Chains A and B, each alone.
Chain A
């Protein structure tokens, strides 16, 4: 069994807003699958539907190849939006409730194991309301992995955390992924997705814009930084060449994008044929942020 999740034509509207339009995605075993999009793009709605707390208007989804959600809840650990626990109970008592819901055996051993894993064992008697945001997120992850599920679904797991907290959560997620778990993460923090995910789906206004591995997304186009003695003439020249697209003009040069098969030498030649001679030409590393912004702005 390789396909962990597939969706088919998922749709959801809230009054006049289309939160999700015909969403089709597929997640394979072992992937760290990032659902990326600006606020309001439909990330949380997607996860809410997949976790059974939001009812879709149309479409279908399958966990673990043809399995329903109810049949597979034991195999899915999830955190949706914020960590949701009883503030007047401590970490252990909150996890006991989750363990009862999941009908787990050896509850005390399991709770100790997961609290140690998220580095909260020393704070096990502390009430949830006294936890910092980072500790709350870690407790939510402890709760999600309590039943040792095959899949972890995390919605904005690093939201609101300081850099140290972000690094801790990232390290925790990557360690869990090393055990062969499939992880689905929704986030608008591009850097996090880039550092953690193997696959990405980009959503905009409820529609899937693109889906693929990080490399596939980032290698669709090549970004070059060029410059000439007369930058304005260079800009005019670029506008005339159909194979070269202007990304943006910066103080120390102009960013252009070309097809990944186009070499830097070919770019130099195309511009030289227009009578402009470059004094700088460098391949510019393309990150997920620039890819994301290009896709979103298309």
Chain B
């Protein structure tokens, strides 16, 4: 495994698009956390719980992961670039010729995506931690609500698995990126149509929606409760453990389809 990590590091350390996307993430993600917390505090007053304190523990964690989740599409695009580069440069095939087994070549890509997930999750954790330590005035501890970070980690892996799956199927960078982005739009439109027809439950089980609900809008439950009182037509939200299991299942399916497609196909 160390060998595969070293190989991937040698490949990626000078990739400009990777540096650019990580830099954008590093700069904008904290700003997004701050902006979203300000928006919720200033404009969503009627829905806020009594003890709400945006950038303090424990409320900072759901805000941090929700804000950071907006960048998952961008990170997914990065995953598409990194994987499709291997097709474009025919290096995936060359590595097998040079001595990697097909299994190792595929596993090395999984390691890259896992590393990306770990890096951005760690960054989000540190950002949330700093916001919390600077702003917390209550007795709340750092670890309260920190499980949101674990959900965020799974979410990034889920989006990466979807990007991996699409790239392996489509191979071309531009096509893969376009379909990846269009998937979010088309699933949202389909979700609205289903909701309009009263089929919110189906939408709750669709993959990208399920992924997004791992890091829901911080006061979503309060908003749903308010919506329930007003109209009764509200989004169906799966229980957290069910949604967690569902996302895990989707992630495994996406990775396994990609794996067996690559194993079966001529390089």
Contact A100 B7 (CB under 8 A): yes
Within the assembled complex, what's the spacing in Å between the Cα atoms of A212 and B159? 56
Cα–Cα, bound, A51→B135 (Å): 60
Say whether A93 contacts B14, CB under 8 Å: yes
8 Å CB contacts to B: which residues of A94-112? 96-98, 100-103
Minimal beta-carbon separation of A5 from chain B (angstroms): 15
Binds A, one of B95-103, B143-151, B179-187, B223-231: B95-103
Task: Kindly state whether residue B27 has any CB partner on chain A within 8 Å.
Answer: no
Chain B residues in 8 Å Cβ range of A86:
11, 85, 89, 91
> Which residues of chain A are within 8 angstroms of B90 by Cβ–Cβ distance?
81-82, 84
Q: Which of A208-232 contact B (CB under 8 A)?
A: none
Cα-based distance from A103 to B95 in the complex (angstroms): 12
Which residues of B lie under 8 Å from residue A48 when comparing CB positions? 266
Contact between chains at A96 and B10 (CB < 8 Å): yes
In contact, B93 and A88 (Cβ under 8 angstroms): no
Q: How far is the CA of A257 from the CA of B14 in the complex (A)?
A: 61
Take A88-B16, A97-B7, A100-B3 as given contacts and tell me if A80 and B98 are in contact as well, using a CB distance cutoff of 8 Å: no
Cross-chain contact A54 with B267 (CB below 8 angstroms): yes
**Chain A residues touching B, majority SS:** loop
Give the complex CA separation of A86 and B96 in angstroms: 15
Determine whether the beta carbon of A73 is less than 8 Å from that of B99.
yes
Chain B 1-36 interface residues, beta-carbon cutoff 8 Å to A:
3, 6-7, 10-11, 14-16
Decide yes or no: A53 and B93 within 8 Å by CB, A88-B16, A89-B14, A96-B10 being known contacts.
Answer: yes
B94 sits at the interface (CB 8 A): yes
Task: Say how far B241's CB is from chain A's closest CB, in angstroms.
Answer: 42
- Interface size (B, Cβ < 8 Å)? 23
Contacts known (A70-B101, A101-B100, A103-B3); A85 close to B14, Cβ less than 8 A: no
Q: In the assembled complex, which residues on chain A have CB atoms less than 8 Å from the CB atom of B96?
A: 51-53
A74 within 8 A of B: yes
B10 to A84, Cβ gap below 8 A?
no
Known: A82-B90, A84-B90, A89-B14. A51 touches B7 (CB 8 A): no
Q: Find chain A residues with CB under 8 A from B3 CB.
A: 100, 103
Q: When A85-B89, A87-B89, A103-B3 are in contact, do A52 and B97 touch as well, CB less than 8 Å?
A: yes
Query: Which of A53, A85, A100 meets B97, CB within 8 Å?
Result: A53
Chain B residues with CB below 8 A from A54, complex form? 266-267
How many Å lie between the Cα of A88 and that of B7 in the bound state? Answer: 15
Over the window 154-196 of chain B, the binary record of Cβ atoms lying under 8 Å from chain A Cβ atoms (1 yes, 0 no) is: 0000000000000000000000000000000000000000000
Verify B7–A101 contact, CB threshold 8 A: yes
Q: Mark B70-101, 1 if CB is under 8 A from A, else 0.
A: 00000000000000010001110111111111
The answer to whether A97 and B10 touch (CB under 8 A), given A52-B96, A88-B15, is yes
Besides A55-B266, A84-B91, 13 other CB < 8 A contacts?
A51-B96, A53-B266, A54-B266, A84-B90, A85-B91, A86-B11, A86-B85, A86-B89, A88-B16, A97-B7, A100-B6, A103-B3, A103-B99
Identify the A interface with B (CB < 8 A). 48, 51-55, 70, 73-74, 78, 80-82, 84-89, 93, 96-98, 100-103, 143
Using a CB–CB distance below 8 Å, which chain B residues touch chain A? 3, 6-7, 10-11, 14-16, 85, 89-91, 93-101, 266-267
